[in-house]
Amino acid sequence: MKQIAYYPGCTLYTKSKNLDLCARETAQILGVELKELETWNCCGAIYSTVQDDLANQVAPIRNLIEAQKISNKLVTLCAACYNVLKRSNHNLFLPENDIYRRRMMNFLDTEYDGKTETVHYLEVLKNDIGFENLKTKVKTNLDGLKVASYYGCLMLRPSDELNFDDPDNPTMMDDMFAALGAEPVEFPFKGECCGGYVLVDKPDVATRCSQTILESIVDAGADCVATTCPLCQYNIDNQQKLMSKQFNLPVFYFTQLLGLALNVDQKILNLDNHYIDPKPLLKQKGLLK
Amino acid sequence: MENFEPKIIGFICKWCTSAGADLAGTSRMKYPPNMIPITVFCSSRIDPQYILWAFKNGADGVFMGGCHPNDCHYQDGNYKTMKRIPILKNLLKELGIEPERLRLAWISASEADKFKKTITEFTESIKKLGPLSINDK
Amino acid sequence: MLELIESLQEIKKDIELLSGQTLSDCYQCGECTAGCPTAFAMEPVPSQAIRLLQLGKFNEVLNSTGIWLCASCNVCGERCPRGVDYGKIADALRTIVLRNKLTHLTLEKIDKQFISDAPQQAFIAAFRKYTT
Amino acid sequence: MKSDKKRIGVFVCHCGINIAGTVNIPEVVKRLKEQADVIEVIDHQYCCSDPGQNLIKETIKEKKLDSVVVACCSPTLHEPTFRKTVSSVGINPYNCEIANIREQCSWVTDDKEKATDKATKIIKTIIKKVEHDEPLTPITIPVTRKALVIGAGVAGIQTALDIATAGYPVILLDKNPSIGGHMSQLSETFPTLDCSQCILTPKMVEAKQHPNITLMTYSEIESISGYLGNFKVKVRQKAKYVDWDKCTGCDVCVDKCPKKTPDEFNHGLTQRKAIYKMFPQAVPNRVVIDAPNCLYLEKGACRLCEKHCPFGAIKFDDQDQITELEVGALVMATGYELLDKQMLGSYGFGKLKNVVDGLQFERILSASGPFMGEVKRPSDGKIPEKVVFVQCAGSRDPENAMAYCSKICCMYTAKQAILYKHRVHHGEPIIFYIDVRTGGKGFEEFYKRATDEGVLYIRGKVSKIFEKGDKVIVWGADTLTGKKIEVEADLVVLSTAMKPAATKEFAQLLKLTQDEYGWFTEAHPKLRPVETLAGGFFLAGACQGPKDIPEAVAQSSGAASKVIGLFTSDTLEHLPVIAGVNEDMCSGCGICIDVCPYKARELVTTEDGKKRTVKVIEVLCEGCGACSAACPVGAAQQKNFKDQQIQDMVKGGLE
């Protein structure tokens, strides 16, 4: 079975187990082993754009070096990890950052040529497995489920560093859901910010950001939301309790819906770990017994 | 050495550098009178051999002036010069002539001040280098 | 009357160096403010903050609440017609404050229930951006 | 052959004290007499004065001189004067040269002794040059007094009319079936609000009827060869599948045609037929069949147009026609297009039906447009109550689109907002802008009129546009108050950036240079704005950069006058200081051919067929001398700048 290096990151081992386990399991079903790095450390959770902040780049680069033992690709699930790892590598290997790079390599006491490509699991599904192929593996067709794919900021921007999808009109996750038989819902806030870490300092501001996104999703007629990031998930799901309007809209990790379509064990799907209980919706759509 | 007056030949193009030199004159700017200008239509007319010829015939320094990149009256003549001069400089080294004795500058018709400063500074630098030794022999 | 330039040119140099952005590139079109998800709560809004910096009113911006509301979503930098990334400027401004040992966030400020609920990622990011 | 020793006379000018104040002229004269191989050296107070010129003439006659050096001011000032002087007494003007001892000597130093030295050396270099100067005669080129104007928008039409009225034949070419260009799509024009069609149509008809103008529509340039005054241009006239000699433009066929496709003239807001006329006032008033959409040509069934045409004009076996034209000058009037949809992702352009560009809104406003002049929105035909105009959509945006200001948008947006307000009285026009640029006659007043008539201007750029229900939401900012602004609009009009219509391939075909965005580059941005560096090519209108109608028309008349100037004589003179080839020395290596920026050199076989050599197309050579520097054997020699001369000049300057 094809092995690709896999980096779970902090939250996937704790609060977002459902994002992690579903991904490993579905990959297995689709013929790819997500092989976790032997050792790994925190990516930094947010990319530091301060120009002299070399220290913040050490951690992500160490992970990328570690990945070389397994493959030239490193798969992430969390949009934040994806953003940090990919940008660190991209920027460190710009010609103008030659001095920084040498200093970093001296510090890490190793040689690394920047060849580890950070990819998101969605990209693995699209490029390594193929959505057409995925279609044939579906056990439970998500027919009738209207899903709003919420990408957030960290996978899309800065587009010149990440080059993930059209930053104004991303479709990769929508295409995946279409392959699973679900109905992707268009809405204009796919890449708007959920408020991110501002939540910790000014919860009201972050909550308003998330509420705007939810309003747009509900207007578009979606049954549920799919996310790729634990912080987006929390802001959009859990913070519904603090919103001025009640949406009662279930929020999934995209891997949970993928798992559902591939008949992954309910224990792994872990549908209890949500603020808005998604089970009634799934039952109503006949996707869950 | 103190009284050394370097002999300098200046190949300058008619449209930009020579016009800039004229403007320096009209503006009564002062600079050392050592450089004898030879105006050609385009800096690309200057065969690198002429520069060697100038050194051989007693020049202590050679100045080349052309239009700024993109401003050439003949589309891309100055790009040809831009490529030729660095190669020649490498050759000069081999011949025992300090490459600093050859100076290339882009000076437009409006850059009288740049012309003055460049020639002044170049003349001074040749003074410091002293007479070209191959000329003593 | 607005008194120009607080003779803190060193700070300007720091901001440009830390952010990698050139303040004078901004021509005040306001697209950053128009797209910013948290601009509704910001004081000053991104375009105004850059304007104040252009005018040399560094302290006014460094002491403002606006710079702490940037969620690093990068919409401003992505769409700016002049290639000025306000997110990076905000990062630089916060860094200047933080490096002066003025922390913005303390643990006591955070709700205990929230600490046990919210994802780790939120805290790591917040501590990266808000603490010395 | 007589002794080839030149009889050179040198005249040293005092220029009052301008030269004599710094340069010791008697000393210069003395040294030249002693050191230089010349017949005579004379100084004079003012050589350019009548007595000065007479002195030169007399001396030439008396001393039987054949060459002259005048040491005076810069050659840019009096070279023509003295060359005229010497030629009046029989000396070839190219055997008279100027030594610049004022601007480049007496004026730039205070040291009299050194100035005297320098002046002597400068004069010596010129004496050395003159020693080998050849008598030269300007090259005469015949001129075909016929022009080709490419692009028949208002700029091309104006150019053609001006040239034709001056009495010269013009071919006016356009890629579309009708002339008229973008101006024919506009509703009203700023700042006077007169109807675009009303002022353009008479010009179109005049162009059609002018005896000196030949229209070639639905045509494209296939290839071009030749040079200034003598171009050969191959034109491909696309198959129309309609015999235009028989067609009367009655439109019966159009009514019967069953196949519909988006209408380019209305920018996709409506449908047209596969057989169509571009617009009702089309000139020529004829129809064409768009082959890829024709049911018969594509699928072999239908022929309804043929069946119903009262004149038997349908010609399904029509072929592209290639015509070769001989012209003396070409005018580019290829105009502009609007920016591509893809470049404005965050504005939803191309995705959201109720987000249109400036030209689409012109069609919406136009009395002959998709809604016959009523303002309706494309999605549902509802009258929009609130219209947001977004300026600088892709202009002044070096990061994502075009760095330049498109120049016309401030005014046409104001115009569109005013016209909207005229049509929908209770409507609310809102304009988001960065700066309002009103540099033009009556423009600032027009801007004032817009605000007076109820147009709301908001200073800030829009960041995002999206749909919510049947509304279009615009996220902007008011930078003056620092407030983020959200507008629920019914229709959004983007003032998208102008971009050149001419492609890179087209420019390469014509060997014209473009700037980084693709606008044609003029010979000089200030002093030669309608010429190009390629002789015989002129620029009219927006192909050179964003322009409004009056500017485009003014420049067109400028280009026309350049063409007319060229055509006033049936020959023209070309500078003779060009490069030649010494066939005996030439090895035929071809290095000079790559070096020549004007393609003035070509490889040929000598008449006896024995060797390859290079031939100079004299009229194309501009005399830069790059070939002479590049030739490895010294066979390429620029006239009067030969290797020998430059080497001697160097010696003269070092003696």
pLDDT in tens, C40-56: 999 999 999 999 999 88
CATH number of D239-319: 3.30.70
Three-state SS annotation for D256-270: HCCCEEECCCCCCCC
Q: Considering CB atoms only, which of D345, D468, D473 is closest to A169?
A: D345
pLDDT of residue A35: 96
The Cα of D264 is separated from the nearest Cα of chain C by a number of Å equal to: 30
Domain borders along chain D are 8-138, 139-238+320-335+506-573, 239-319, 337-499, 578-638
pLDDT band at residue B84 using 50, 70 and 90 as cut-offs: very high
d(CA D171, CA D163): 10
pLDDT digits (tens, 9 = 90+) for B34-62: 999 999 999 999 999 999 999 999 999 99
**CB contact, 8 Å: A51 with chain C?**
yes
Residue B2 has pLDDT above 70, yes or no: no
SS3 call for C78: helix
Task: Give which of D341, D344, D467 to mutate to test A binding, by max A Cβ within 10 Å.
Answer: D467
Domains detected in chain B: 8-130 (3.40.50)
End-to-end CA distance of chain B: 17
Interface partners of chain C (CB pairs < 8 Å, 3 or more) are: A, D
DSSP-based three-state secondary structure for D637: strand
Give the DSSP letter string of A107-123: HHTS---S-PEEEEHHH
Any domain includes A132: no
Please give the residue of chain D at the shortest CA–CA distance from C85.
D399
Calculate ∠ Cα A194-A197-A201, nearest 5°.
115
Q: How far apart are CA B13 and CA C42, in angstroms?
A: 58
Residue A176 domain flag:
yes
β-bridge mates for residue A224, sequence order: A147
Average pLDDT, rounded, for chain C:
91
Cβ-based contacts of D463 with chain C (< 8 Å) = 31-32, 34-36, 75, 79
Residue-level pLDDT at D261: 96
Residues A159 and A29 grouped into a single domain: no
Instruction: Look at residue C5 and tell me whether its pLDDT is greater than 60.
Output: no
Across the strands, what pairs with A6? A36, A75
Which distant-in-sequence residues (6+ apart) come within 8 Å of D561 by Cβ?
A: D162
Q: Distance (Å, rounded) from C-alpha D11 to C-alpha D28?
A: 11
| A157 and A215 in a common domain | yes
Query: Rounded CA gap, C19 and C46, in Å?
Result: 14
Residue A208: its chain C contacts at CB < 8 A?
Answer: 40-41
Judge whether residue D533 has pLDDT over 90.
Answer: no
Q: Cβ of C34 under 8 Å from any chain D Cβ?
A: yes
- Closest to D345 (Cβ–Cβ): which among A166, A189, A216? A166
Decide if domain D578-638 falls under CATH 3.30.70.360: no
Residue of C nearest to A213 (CA): C37
- Asked whether residue A109 falls in the same domain as residue A201, the answer is no
**Mutation for testing the D interface, residue in C25, C27, C31 having most D CBs under 10 Å:** C31
Cross-chain CB nearest to C29 (options D460, D484, D485): D460
Q: Which residue spans within D366-450 are E strands per DSSP?
A: 386-393, 428-433
Tokens of A87: 């940008």
Residue C32 banded pLDDT, cuts 50, 70, 90: very high
- Smallest CA–CA distance, residue C48 to chain D, in Å, is 6
Task: Report the interhelical angle of A254-261 vs A17-29 (nearest 10°).
Answer: 40
Å from A180 to nearest chain D CA?
25
Provide the pLDDT for residue D2: 43
Chain A residues with beta carbon closer than 8 angstroms to that of D472: none
The CATH architecture to which D337-499 belongs is 3-Layer(bba) Sandwich (3.50)
pLDDT score recorded for residue B72: 82
CATH code reported for the domain at D139-238+320-335+506-573:
3.50.50.60
Cβ contact (<8 Å) for C34 and D397?
no
Average pLDDT along chain A: 95
Give the integer Cα–Cα distance in Å for A187 and D609. Answer: 75
Quick one: tokens of D180?
Answer: 């008229």
DSSP letter at A126 equals I
Does pLDDT of D334 surpass 50?
yes
Count of C-beta atoms within a 10 Å radius of residue C99: 12
Give contacts of D401 with chain A, Cβ < 8 Å. Answer: none
Under 8 Å between Cβ of D219 and D237: yes
Q: Which of residues 453-472 of D touch C (CB under 8 A)?
A: 459-464
**Do A199 and A75 belong together in one domain?**
no
Structure confidence at residue D524 (pLDDT): 79
Task: Look up residue C9 and give its two tokens.
Answer: 């040119």
Is there a domain that residue A24 lies in?
Answer: yes
Backbone angles phi, psi at B73, to 5 degrees: -65, -25
The architecture CATH gives domain C9-100:
Orthogonal Bundle (1.10)
**Confidence grade of residue C3 (pLDDT, cut at 50, 70, 90):** low
Residues A148 and A116 in one domain: no
Whether residue A164 is contained in a domain is answered as yes
Contact C33 D460 (CB under 8 A): yes
- Same fold: D139-238+320-335+506-573 with D337-499: yes
A 60-119 residues inside an 8 A Cβ radius of C:
78, 80
d(CA D339, CA D394): 7
CA–CA gap between residue D170 and residue D210 (Å, rounded): 10
Q: Do D400 and C79 touch (CB under 8 A)?
A: yes
D432-459: average pLDDT: 96
* A58 contact C CB<8A: no
Q: What confidence score (pLDDT) does residue B70 get?
A: 74
Of A206-220, B66-80, C64-78, D92-106, the range with the lowest mean pLDDT is B66-80
* Mean pLDDT within B11-31: 94
| Strand ranges in D410-505 using DSSP code E only, listed in sequence order | 428-433, 456-459, 464-468, 471-478, 483-489, 491-496, 498-500
Side by side, the strands of the sheet bearing A73-76 are: A32-36, A2-7, A73-76, A117-120
Q: What's the number of CA atoms in the CB half-sphere (13 Å) around residue D631?
A: 26
Can you read off the two tokens belonging to residue D187?
């509703």
| Position D620 confidence tier, pLDDT thresholds 50, 70, 90 | confident
**A273: in domain:** yes
Instruction: Show which subunits contact D, needing at least 3 CB pairs below 8 angstroms.
Output: A, B, C
Say whether C81 and D461 touch across the interface (CB within 8 A): yes
For helices A55-67 and A98-108, angle between their N-to-C axes, nearest 10 degrees: 70
Reduce the DSSP state of residue D219 to 3 states and report it.
strand
Q: Is residue A49 part of a domain?
A: yes
Option in D103, D114, D653 nearest B9 (CB): D653
| B37 lies within 8 A of chain D by CB | yes
A and B touch with 3+ CB pairs <8 Å, answer no
Residue A127 located in a structural domain: no
Which CATH number characterizes residue A85's domain? 1.20.1050.140
Strand pairing class (A146-149; A224-227) = parallel
C82 chain-D contacts, CB cut-off 8 A: 397-399
Subunit contact C71:A47, Cβ cutoff 8 A: no
Q: Domain D8-138 is in which class?
A: alpha beta
What pLDDT does A118 receive?
Answer: 97
Q: Which residue numbers in chain A have pLDDT < 70?
A: none
Q: Find, among D414, D653, D433, the residue nearest to D548 by Cα.
A: D414
Q: Are residues A72 and A196 in the same domain?
A: no
On whether both A181 and A237 belong to a single domain, the answer is: yes
Q: Say if strands D329-332 and D271-273 run parallel, antiparallel, or are unpaired.
A: unpaired
C79/D434 CB distance under 8 A: no
A77-135 pLDDT, tens per residue? 999 999 999 999 999 999 999 999 999 999 999 889 999 999 999 999 999 999 999 99
Q: Is C115 on the interface with A (CB under 8 A)?
A: no
pLDDT value for B137? 44
How does residue C1 score in pLDDT terms, banded at 50, 70 and 90? very low
The mean per-residue pLDDT over the stretch D425-434 comes to: 97
Shared domain for A274 and A186, answered yes or no, is yes
In a domain? residue A81: yes
Confidence label for D1 from pLDDT (cuts 50, 70 and 90): very low
Q: Is residue C99 scored above 70 in pLDDT?
A: yes
Nearest Cα residue in chain D from A216: D468
Number of domain units in chain A: 2
Give the CATH number, domain containing residue A145.
3.40.50.11810
What's the rounded mean pLDDT across residues D161-188? 97
Which domain does A51 fall in, by range? 2-120
- Bridge partners (DSSP) of residue D357 are D494
Contact predicate D575/D623, CB 8 Å: yes
Q: A residues 128-187 near C, CB within 8 Å?
A: 153, 157-159, 167
Q: Which residues of C touch A14 (CB under 8 A)?
A: 119-120
Q: Report the gap between the CA of B13 and the closest CA in chain D (Å).
A: 10
Express each pLDDT in D202-231 by its tens digit. 999 999 999 999 999 999 999 998 888 999
Amino acid B135: pLDDT: 54
> What are the Cα distances from residue B51, in Å, to B62, B84, D506?
7, 11, 41
To test the contact with chain D by mutation, choose from C55, C64, C79 the residue with the greatest count of D C-beta atoms within 10 A, namely C79
Tell me D452's DSSP state: H
3-state helix, strand, coil in chain B (%, to 5): 45, 15, 35
Residue B34 three-state SS: coil
Please name the residue ranges forming H helices in D571-612: 591-595
pLDDT at C8: 64
**Quick one: which of A73, C79, B11 has its CA closest to D343?**
C79
**In chain B, pLDDT over 90 holds for what percent of residues?**
80
On chain D, the residues whose CB falls within 8 A of the CB of C33 are: 460, 477, 479, 482, 484
Q: D100-144 pLDDT, tens per residue? A: 999 999 999 999 999 999 999 999 999 999 999 999 999 898 999
